Structure 1
Amino acid sequence: MKLPRFGVEEWLNVNEKSAIYDIAGVSIKALTMEELFDLAGLDKEVFFAQLLKKKMDYGWIEGSPEFKTQVASLYKNMPVDNILQTNGATGATMLSLYALIEPEDHVISMYPTYQQLYDIPKSLGADVDLWEIEEDKNWLPDLDQLRRLIRPNTKMICINNANNPTGALMDAAYLEELVAIAKEVDAYIFSDEIYRSFDQPAPSIVDLYEKGIAVNSLSKTYSIPGIRVGWVASNTEVADILRDYRDYTMICAGVFDDMVATLVLENKETILKRNRQILEENLALMDAWIAKEPKASWIRPASVSTSFVKLDVNRPIEDFASELLQDYGVLVVPGNRFDKESHVRIGYCCDKDVLEKGLEKLSKFLNKY
């Protein structure tokens, strides 16, 4: 099992701590613990009094009943037992692909997307076809192209909805057609659903298809990437398979992490209200910047926290991004890390001041030559 370097994560790992204006990350502005307590209306002394009495053992291996109940409520008819807690959505994805994909399986993956979705199956010996997103289709892949790629032995179709890096969203009608195609060959649909659209939320794949597998976490939409808690939701048969493999990949997420994750989900509506406001205000700033910056254009994201901006530059985009960081302190993700030149990923749901200054300096650099 050999894996290539993880393009986006490698770029961020090397560069994010040196940035002054980080507009590369695609989480919605992370909460402090104090902010979380305020939003939850919880006296922090009460929380920490409970924590001080908690034994720091392994806790609930698959996630506490309270956590699993909260997650199950995000779906229409998901049994609590079919929710498995993981180490972020990355852990959920690794678990699902490791458990279900075998050598010579045929896998179709949306591309570009988060690199796990196609490179992990390849590393496991699967035959992977890339189902490419298309700019002239608002960054969605063509369903007719999927029909040409599908085979009688296709094991799994991997999607990321909404898409990273573009913010493009497969709506309910699109997903229903996708499900119909998958049903023809009895293929799984694996869906990374970590990015929520605040204007037009799409249904989860597990609410549309018995062989749908959904992964998510608290990192992006819920603004708590620091606790590294995610989950996978699936049918009972798949959940039982994942349990067997999960014992080899992790034991538990941790007592403290589970407590915080449960608190977040118990107060999700309040947190989502806060995050909607951040997204809407910052998206308006992005709209205004795109309108006045002649060297930048985009296909507007579907009110999710990631965007993919085309820049009018006549040099390799990674060279441009490296110099932008070095000279102006602005961090973006160069599009070549998603196999797309002339584009950068901008995470615009950061501090408003960081976004405004970052875009100002990006414009200054764009117009330097």
Structure 2
Amino acid sequence: MARTVPQPFTQDSTDVVLDVRDLRVEYVGEDGRTPAVSDVSFTLRRGEVLGIAGESGSGKSTLAYAITRLHKPPAEISQGQILYTRPDGESVDVLALDDAELREFRWEELSIVFQSAMHALNPVLRIGAQIEDVIVAHRPEMTAPERAARVIELLSTVGIPADRANSYPHELSGGMRQRAMIAVGLALDPEIIVMDEPTTALDVVIQRQIIEKIMELKDRLGFSVVFITHDLSLLIELSDTIAVMYGGKVVEMAAADDFYRRPQHPYSRGLLASFPTLGGPKRELTGIPGSPPDLRRLPAGCAFQPRCPHAFDACALQVPPLYEITGPGGGTSLAACLLHRDDGRDKAPEVDAPAEPARPRDARTSMTELATGDTQ
């Protein structure tokens, strides 16, 4: 039976490194305030990958910038808490940090890998110098030889030859630039790395290499990841938990396997139906009719109801809360859909999972297997 869940979703309340509660981000303009992120809550555990998906304009990147407090006017955090827990158990209210404390917090304990490495990297500085800048700012006690050695170590960690430290960004391939951005993010051994669409505009082979490197480093170094993308197939492959955003809100959150095999929100089903499986019988790909909502003029009730094939009268009147749904295997999902209300009406339709999962066995499946579909 579904029940309303007001608290943040977590599979395990222990060892939480980041706790985001009822976060609201608005853009302030002459015509008023436009909510880009509304009442978003989640928890992130140490060593976990939280994937955040959704169409363009759903609020993913705004959420990333809010978590790291890199948002700029007219964006404004108008509500909520962002609580970080250090390894020693000390809790830090990120929104209460002053400028000096925030400068120390970023890169030391939480870093970000930006969406486009070509634009994020300084085009007139060598790659090694850009990594060293982070070390100089936060580790002034290190000597020049120690900094140089650390730069080489970081480049080696992400698979870039040492001699590339003297290269400019335009002299590197797209994949190497993205790896360099990851090296910058790892420079001070943070506990959390926020990755905002780090594989955008890369071909599938390079995407595979970047994903393999991220998973290898996460397993080896033990950091947590918030991975933001519009590509659900990537998230299913690498995430422990997936959150789907629509119209600035989280509309579904579940463990990755549960999300793929038993999606609980009609929007999630539409997203999953839009990409092919690697094996099994051929099936027709379907899209989602219509367009994402204008955040300045959200429809009444459920924001997805104008595009939803299962909408009924109440959907245009009531904003659905997050309901907790227990699956047949005992796993729980959260879904903001009135089809899951427990008053006995309008139960969610049965949805068959694809015959073969779209995710490879793990994040290290070879490109040969992916190309041939032989993932058994």
TM-score normalised by length of structure 2: 0.30
Give the helix-richer structure, 1 or 2: 1
Give the strand-richer structure, 1 or 2: 2
Larger RCO (CA under 8 A, 6+ residues apart):
1
TM-score normalised by length of structure 1: 0.31
